[in-house]
Structure 1
Amino acid sequence: MSKPMKKPDLRGVTVAVVLPFKSDMSIDWDGYARVLDYCACPDGIAAVFVNGHAGEGGSLSDDERQAVIERTRRQIGGKPLLSGIIAHSTAEAIHQTQLAESAGADCAVLFPPTPLGGGASATSRAPVAYVQAVSSAVAIPVSIFQYPLTSGFGYSPETLAKIAALESIIAIKEGSDTMLAYDENRRAVKQADPSVAILPSNFNWFLPQLAVGGDGVLSGLVSLAPGLFVELWQASLADDLNAMRAVNDRLYPIVRAIYGPAPIMDMHTRMKVGLKALGLIESADPRPPLLPVLPALCDAIATAVGVARAAGDIRLA
């Protein structure tokens, strides 16, 4: 008889951890350990997400992804550990998920595979079959990474509801990037299975998403400003809208510095610029095809981080 699946509690703040590299593009493990100490280990952080967009998981080898999981597990202790699955086929996704399970991940976060960007995400047939195939190949639960609808990869409320009804699904990282889609998806998922956690993840919508209803926050920006997100979540738990607004006002300059300028794909590299300004990592450069942040924007990010640190909104141990 197989053991019942262990389903971690993902309510609260989940940090999507950025991954620093050295000048030769190998992983900066010392810098990564400092980043984990800063944003993943403190009280108030409920779970840790690696090998996603923030961790440049698509640029990593199988061995590197496993090493990230293993090192993170040793450093964060028993906190739930999620690992991104960024694949181009079902077979590749199964392979990555099995490796993540063997390395110690508690949950696999399935990104929509590239072939579903050609319109297949507009109906439920292919996405549900994909999630079923991957989840049935492992003994750990699965979370879904919902893309912005404008990307062509975002799932419809009907699709998310059908996926949420699967036994192994425990959470939806909700990044549709419109409040209407967020609310429609949240309602559809909760009707299908109220236990599936909805984790707001739209950088411009943290406060309104939580105000409408959410089970936590999942964001790469927690890597840079963990304390503010813990405060925002605690205010949400207390149903204190005034406190939520106050935290949001303090978070706003950081949000705009990271997410405001085009192209938005540089968001996680900009977070690394902020972490470099804090002295936690030596290099903010990403792996190609992503490019380093231009100097003028680096200066603006460093200024925003410096102001937040002086105000006590960003604190180093």
Structure 2
Amino acid sequence: MSEINLKGIGVALITPFKKDKSVDFDALGRLVDYQIDGGIDYLVALGTTAETPTLTRDERTEVVRFIIEKNNNRLPIVVGVGSNNTAEIVHELKVSYFSNISAVLSVTPYYNKPNQEGLFQHYRALSEVSPRPIILYNVPGRTGVNMEAETTLRLAKSCPNIVAIKEASGKMDQIRQIIDNRPEGFSVISGDDGIAFDLIKAGGEGVISVLGNALPKEFSEMIHHALAGDFNKAEAENARFVEAIKLLFKDGNPAGVKCMLSEMGYIENELRLPLVAACDETKQEVIEELSSLKKTK
């Protein structure tokens, strides 16, 4: 069904900014290499973690172009294409350039709060025009609406090019219902680092990660051990990340992971309003946690 193997770990790349808030392409290039060298399985551009709503259309185009060029066909690339205006996304899918892109990730419409039938009709409209496989993205904590398991399964069974869901509802019962009743070839991916291990144990395919930006090698190893069925080893590894994952979201995403990457020397600790950098207290906790993780390698 899919042109991309979604088993493993994708990383939702941040967008690094310079002190003047312009996109820092040098830092983005370093980050892409760091992810690939860390053993992740695919790159995700223009997701939530990329601060995509604050990027202009030209910047979004240039960021994707740059990632494609820097990646140089080393890993599959997924690109976020989402809006609460169905007609706008349909148009974008028709006219955008998707060469070297393996799949699109599309978030449920936000703010409008459509019902389940509205969600179904929205994604069906996208599926009819998308030149690439579609990954659904359910993140009710940000969008204000939860796409229920029945709707996800209805889409999976009726739209051949809808090939996966990134589930960030935090509802393991809902996630298990999708896993247990999905059609062959439909992937269920965690959108939450904190439940990635549990989702894989339940039969899911992996994670689209935030933490992977900062710790690609370490988090990839845990995910790959879990997928190989080595749950004891993976569970022990996963326990190391509990505090780091909490810190990612203490001051909001991507403030936490940008703070980590800044302390590691990869980027400037810059975000675009309305988001702001992590506070001094969180920054100190991040420094201490990174030191602790180094000691427990």
TM-score, normalization: structure 2?
Answer: 0.92
| Contact residue 258 and residue 267 of structure 1 kept, 8 A | yes
Distance 1:268 1:295 in 2: 16
2:27 aligned residue: 31
1:141 corresponding residue in structure 2 = 133
Are the counterparts in 2 of residues 7 and 170 from structure 1 also a CA contact under 8 Å?
Answer: no
Of 91, 98, 118 in structure 1, the residue corresponding to residue 87 of structure 2 is: 91
The aligned counterpart of 1:230 is: 220
- Pick the aligned partner of 1:61 from 52, 56, 61: 56
Are 1:295 and 2:287 counterparts? no
Q: Whole-Å Cα distance in 2 between the matches of residues 135 and 164 of structure 1?
A: 11
Deviation at 1:105, TM superposition (A): 2.4
Q: Which residue of 2 aligns with 1:306?
A: 291
The equivalent of 1:315 in structure 2 is none
Q: State the Cα distance separating 1:37 from its structure 2 match.
A: 1.3
User: How does 1:1-317 map onto structure 2 within 5 Å?
Assistant: 7-39=3-35, 41-42=36-37, 44-78=39-73, 79-98=75-94, 100-102=96-98, 104-117=100-113, 120-121=114-115, 123=116, 125-148=117-140, 152-165=144-157, 166-188=159-181, 190=182, 193-259=183-249, 261=250, 263=251, 266-281=252-267, 283-312=268-297
Q: CA RMSD in A?
A: 2.0
Unmatched tracts of structure 2, length 5 or more: none
1:237 offset after TM fit, Å?
A: 2.4
CA distance in 2, matches of 1:95, 1:295: 43
DSSP-derived class of the 2:226 partner: helix
- The change in CA–CA distance for 1:81 and 1:38 in structure 2 (over 3 A counts) is same
Whether the 8 Å CA contact 1:81–1:107 is kept in 2: the answer is yes
Q: How many Å separate the matches in 2 of 1:150 and 1:111? A: 10
For structure 1, list consecutive stretches of 5 or more residues without a partner in the other structure.
313-317
1 CA distance for matches of 2:61 and 2:54?
13
Asked if 2 retains the 8 angstrom alpha-carbon contact of 1:87 and 1:111, the reply is: yes
Cα distance in 1, alignment partners of residues 227 and 5 from structure 2: 16
1:150 is displaced (CA, Å) by 8.7
Moved more, 219-228 or 147-156: 147-156
After alignment, is 97-106 or 225-234 more displaced?
A: 97-106
Change (3 A) 1:59 1:243: same
Q: How many residues align?
A: 295
Q: Deviations over 1:226-269 (max 9, x none)?
A: 1122111221122122101111122223112223x3x5xx1211
Q: Which amino acid aligns with 2:163?
A: I
Change (3 A) 1:10 1:52: same
C-alpha displacement of 1:278? 0.4
SS of residue matched to 1:204? helix
AA aligned to 2:255 is: T
Q: Is the 8 A contact 2:110 2:144 kept in 1?
A: no
